[in-house]
Amino acid sequence: MTNQAGIARGYFSEDVLAAVNATLVSRLKDEGAYLDGIYVCTHHPTAGESPYRMVCDCRKPRPGLLLRAASELGLDLSRSTLVGDRASDLVAGRAAGARSVLVLTGYGLGEWEYQRDSFPVPPDHVAEDLLDAVEWVLGGRRS
Protein backbone atom coordinates (compact mmCIF):
# COMPACT_ATOMS: atom_id res chain seq x y z
CA MET A 1 0.00 0.00 0.00
CA THR A 2 1.55 3.25 -0.96
CA ASN A 3 0.58 6.85 -1.48
CA GLN A 4 2.37 8.08 -4.60
CA ALA A 5 1.15 11.65 -4.95
CA GLY A 6 4.34 12.33 -6.95
CA ILE A 7 2.27 11.19 -9.91
CA ALA A 8 -0.46 13.74 -9.20
CA ARG A 9 2.21 16.38 -8.68
CA GLY A 10 3.89 15.49 -11.99
CA TYR A 11 7.20 14.49 -10.41
CA PHE A 12 7.16 11.14 -12.19
CA SER A 13 4.89 9.12 -14.46
CA GLU A 14 2.91 5.96 -13.93
CA ASP A 15 5.40 4.26 -16.28
CA VAL A 16 8.27 5.15 -13.97
CA LEU A 17 6.32 3.89 -10.98
CA ALA A 18 5.54 0.64 -12.81
CA ALA A 19 9.25 0.20 -13.60
CA VAL A 20 10.24 0.79 -9.98
CA ASN A 21 7.61 -1.68 -8.78
CA ALA A 22 8.74 -4.26 -11.34
CA THR A 23 12.31 -3.91 -10.06
CA LEU A 24 11.10 -4.31 -6.49
CA VAL A 25 9.17 -7.48 -7.37
CA SER A 26 12.16 -8.85 -9.28
CA ARG A 27 14.60 -8.25 -6.43
CA LEU A 28 12.24 -9.84 -3.92
CA LYS A 29 11.77 -12.83 -6.22
CA ASP A 30 15.56 -13.21 -6.46
CA GLU A 31 15.59 -13.58 -2.67
CA GLY A 32 12.69 -16.04 -2.60
CA ALA A 33 10.03 -13.57 -1.51
CA TYR A 34 6.87 -12.57 -3.35
CA LEU A 35 4.09 -10.02 -3.17
CA ASP A 36 0.42 -10.77 -3.65
CA GLY A 37 -0.06 -7.26 -4.96
CA ILE A 38 1.05 -3.66 -4.93
CA TYR A 39 -1.71 -1.16 -4.26
CA VAL A 40 -1.03 2.46 -5.10
CA CYS A 41 -2.90 5.72 -4.60
CA THR A 42 -1.78 8.14 -7.31
CA HIS A 43 -4.13 10.92 -6.21
CA HIS A 44 -3.77 14.16 -4.35
CA PRO A 45 -6.69 16.25 -3.12
CA THR A 46 -5.27 19.63 -4.15
CA ALA A 47 -2.20 19.13 -6.35
CA GLY A 48 -1.91 18.33 -10.04
CA GLU A 49 -4.60 17.86 -12.65
CA SER A 50 -7.33 15.42 -13.62
CA PRO A 51 -7.52 12.47 -13.24
CA TYR A 52 -5.03 12.52 -10.37
CA ARG A 53 -6.27 15.62 -8.59
CA MET A 54 -9.18 14.31 -6.59
CA VAL A 55 -10.40 13.48 -3.12
CA CYS A 56 -10.29 9.70 -3.20
CA ASP A 57 -10.95 6.91 -0.74
CA CYS A 58 -7.55 5.29 -1.26
CA ARG A 59 -5.10 7.94 -0.08
CA LYS A 60 -3.91 6.91 3.36
CA PRO A 61 -4.98 7.61 6.08
CA ARG A 62 -8.17 6.48 4.32
CA PRO A 63 -8.49 2.69 4.20
CA GLY A 64 -9.53 2.28 0.55
CA LEU A 65 -6.41 0.44 -0.60
CA LEU A 66 -6.63 -2.00 2.29
CA LEU A 67 -10.31 -2.64 1.64
CA ARG A 68 -9.61 -3.20 -2.06
CA ALA A 69 -6.75 -5.60 -1.32
CA ALA A 70 -8.90 -7.46 1.18
CA SER A 71 -11.65 -7.85 -1.38
CA GLU A 72 -9.37 -8.93 -4.22
CA LEU A 73 -7.15 -11.22 -2.14
CA GLY A 74 -9.76 -12.62 0.23
CA LEU A 75 -8.13 -11.19 3.35
CA ASP A 76 -9.72 -11.07 6.78
CA LEU A 77 -8.60 -7.64 7.95
CA SER A 78 -9.55 -8.41 11.55
CA ARG A 79 -6.80 -11.05 11.43
CA SER A 80 -4.38 -8.86 9.47
CA THR A 81 -1.58 -6.52 10.45
CA LEU A 82 -0.58 -3.40 8.61
CA VAL A 83 3.13 -2.62 8.80
CA GLY A 84 4.00 0.97 7.95
CA ASP A 85 6.39 3.80 8.64
CA ARG A 86 3.89 6.67 8.89
CA ALA A 87 1.16 7.68 11.32
CA SER A 88 -1.20 7.76 8.33
CA ASP A 89 -0.50 4.05 7.81
CA LEU A 90 -1.58 3.31 11.38
CA VAL A 91 -4.79 5.27 10.90
CA ALA A 92 -5.58 3.41 7.68
CA GLY A 93 -4.94 0.08 9.38
CA ARG A 94 -7.17 0.93 12.31
CA ALA A 95 -9.92 2.22 10.00
CA ALA A 96 -9.82 -1.09 8.13
CA GLY A 97 -10.02 -3.09 11.35
CA ALA A 98 -6.44 -4.39 11.24
CA ARG A 99 -3.69 -4.28 13.83
CA SER A 100 -0.82 -1.97 13.02
CA VAL A 101 2.94 -1.99 13.45
CA LEU A 102 5.13 1.07 13.06
CA VAL A 103 8.58 0.21 11.73
CA LEU A 104 11.43 2.50 12.70
CA THR A 105 12.95 2.29 9.22
CA GLY A 106 12.07 4.69 6.41
CA TYR A 107 10.14 7.62 7.89
CA GLY A 108 9.28 5.60 11.00
CA LEU A 109 12.05 6.70 13.32
CA GLY A 110 11.41 10.38 12.66
CA GLU A 111 7.66 9.95 13.00
CA TRP A 112 8.10 8.07 16.28
CA GLU A 113 10.74 10.41 17.74
CA TYR A 114 9.06 13.70 16.84
CA GLN A 115 5.39 13.03 16.11
CA ARG A 116 4.22 10.24 18.39
CA ASP A 117 2.42 12.58 20.81
CA SER A 118 0.17 13.65 17.94
CA PHE A 119 -0.44 10.19 16.44
CA PRO A 120 -4.21 9.84 15.91
CA VAL A 121 -3.94 6.18 16.87
CA PRO A 122 -1.07 4.40 18.62
CA PRO A 123 0.63 1.45 16.96
CA ASP A 124 -0.04 -2.00 18.40
CA HIS A 125 3.70 -2.56 18.17
CA VAL A 126 6.79 -0.54 17.35
CA ALA A 127 9.33 -2.60 15.42
CA GLU A 128 13.00 -1.92 14.86
CA ASP A 129 12.68 -3.16 11.30
CA LEU A 130 10.60 -5.38 9.04
CA LEU A 131 12.03 -8.59 10.50
CA ASP A 132 11.04 -7.46 14.00
CA ALA A 133 7.55 -6.66 12.68
CA VAL A 134 7.20 -10.10 11.08
CA GLU A 135 8.40 -11.85 14.23
CA TRP A 136 5.87 -9.89 16.29
CA VAL A 137 3.06 -10.86 13.94
CA LEU A 138 4.08 -14.53 13.84
CA GLY A 139 4.47 -14.60 17.61
CA GLY A 140 1.02 -13.13 18.11
CA ARG A 141 2.51 -10.85 20.72
CA ARG A 142 1.17 -7.52 21.89
CA SER A 143 3.33 -4.82 23.35
Shortest reach from residue 107's CB to Zn ion, in Å: 19
Closer residue to Zn ion (CB): 13 or 78: 13
What is d(CA 40, CA 12) in angstroms, rounded to the nearest whole number? 14
Minimum Å gap between C-beta 142 and Zn ion is 31
Taking the complex as a whole, the smallest distance from the CB of residue 8 to Zn ion amounts, in Å, to: 9
- β-pairing, 125-127 vs 81-84, is unpaired
Is the separation of the CB atoms in 39 and 96 below 8 Å? Answer: no
Q: Which is nearer to Zn ion, 43 or 94 (CB)?
A: 43
**x/- track of binding to Zn ion for residues 31-60 (CB under 5 A):** ----------x-x------------x-xx-
**What is the C-alpha separation between 67 and 48, in angstroms, rounded?**
25
Q: Map the footprint of Zn ion across residues 72-131, applying CB under 5 A.
A: none
Nearest residue (CB) to Zn ion, 92 versus 133: 92
62 makes contact with Zn ion (CB under 5 A) = no
**Nearest-approach distance from CB 4 to Zn ion, in angstroms:** 9
Q: What is the DSSP string of 89-137?
A: HHHHHHHTT-EEEEESSTTHHHHHHHHGGG-SS--SEEESSHHHHHHHH
CB of 7 to Zn ion, least distance (A): 10
Task: Write phi, then psi, for 13 (nearest 5 degrees).
Answer: -95, 170
Summarize as ranges the residues that interact with Zn ion (CB under 5 A).
41, 43, 56, 58-59
